[in-house]
Amino acid sequence: MVQDPGGAAMPVRVGVVGVGIMGYNHARVLTDLPGAELVGIADPDAGQREKVAALLGCRAFASLDELVAQGADALVIAAPTHLHHDVALAAIHAGMHVLVEKPIAPSVAEAEAIVAAAKAKGVALVVGHVERFNPAVEAVKNAIRDEEILSIAITRVGPFPPRMSNVGVVIDLAVHDIDLICHFTGSHIVDVQPQVKAAVAAREDIALLQFRTANGVLAHINTNWLTPFKARTVHVATRKKYVIGDLLTRQVTEYFDYKPDGSYSMRHLPVAYAEPLRLELLRFLDAVRGGSAPAVTGEDGVAAIATAMRCLEALEPTPTEPLPAEPTPAEPTPLRASVA
């Protein structure tokens, strides 16, 4: 699919479905990403798709079917979460490799269906947990490699985002850090002790989440939409060191060599300069070509949404009910594609 008849590597032809804030950024990066060709974007909102097409100089389509007809090898799905399942299955059925923005789906059942379809079709499936590709996260990960991790504390707070109406902080924010906990520990979450509350917004806007992983690490996430400024920090305690990472300023500090008198040593660790989304898409292209396994697998996406839904059980009376559908524009019609 991505080789010419002579065996030479060809650019991976990629389409983007849904060009809101995140979809626009995917399309922007793809326009000049080595080894990629942006074949077009699709969005039911005529005004939005034409604006993005004009900014990026790409083709725009009203439906997924029109975009699929262009012969893309891969698809980035940045449509509203309640459409992920249908759009992903349509793309996979058409033989396309897929990158689905986080969360992979609004329910565990739909997420598992996407994973099963990708396996059956033999296509690459990547979930867009872009924080994994933050250079500060990589620096923290390298600092704690081969260490005995004792605890992880993550803070992800900020003001209420005007764009948000259908989900709360657990799905919008904490799902990033649920994935990071698994990424740092190389394990999965087994115990969940959530405290969530809708203090000001219609859905939960405060969440204090405690976890224990299968390999015994204790973890804590503090997230809210009540803080007037953004903060994104990671604290990791190991047997021999303490590492603090600021995911916004990308400063990572390591404390080590503890002495009986209470003194210690510290140093700032080098952090690469790179755009996380660009790194994510480069890894996606590599997975499409078969050069490496997906950096964030479908199973990773299922695990993150499953844990997030368990956290919401403390607030919602029907934990198995999928997240509510995001508002659909009155006009034009939503993206549609046959999955048969």
As a whole number, mean pLDDT of residues 192-208 equals: 93
82-101 pLDDT per residue, tens: 999 999 999 999 999 999 99
Tell the residue number behind the tokens 């764009």, with chain if given: 163
As given in the structure block, the two tokens for residue 71 are: 């012969």
Residue-wise pLDDT tens digits, 140-160: 999 999 999 999 999 999 999
Distance set, CA 227 to CA 7, 95, 145, 205, 209 (Å): 54, 44, 32, 10, 17
Mean pLDDT of the chain: 91
Model pLDDT, residue 322: 55
Determine the pLDDT at residue 141.
98
Cis peptide before 159 (omega within 30 of 0): no
Written as six digits, the tokens of 112 are 């598992």
Read off the pLDDT of each residue in 115-122 and give the average, rounded to a whole number: 98
Does residue 252 come out as left (phi exceeding 0), alpha (psi in the -120 to 50 range) or beta?
beta
Predicted confidence (pLDDT) per residue in 231-273, tens digit: 999 999 999 999 999 999 999 999 999 999 999 999 999 999 9
Whole-structure pTM value: 0.88
**What tens digit of pLDDT does each residue of 304-329 get?**
999 999 999 867 554 444 555 555 44
> Which comes out higher in pLDDT, residue 220 or 2?
220
- Find tokens 């504390």 and name the residue: 153
39-88 pLDDT, tens digit each: 999 999 999 999 999 999 999 999 999 999 999 999 999 999 999 999 99
How many Å apart are CA 272 and CA 195, to the nearest integer? Answer: 35
Show the CA angle centred on residue 91, arms to residues 88 and 96, nearest 5°. Answer: 120
Residues 6+ apart with CB under 8 A from 194: 170, 207, 208, 209, 210, 310, 311, 312, 313, 314
Domains with residue ranges and CATH for the chain: 12-123 (3.40.50.720), 132-275 (3.30.360.10)
Q: What is the mean pLDDT of residues 125-147?
A: 97
Give the confidence band of 1 by pLDDT, cuts at 50, 70, 90.
Answer: very low
| Structure tokens, 233 | 């920090």
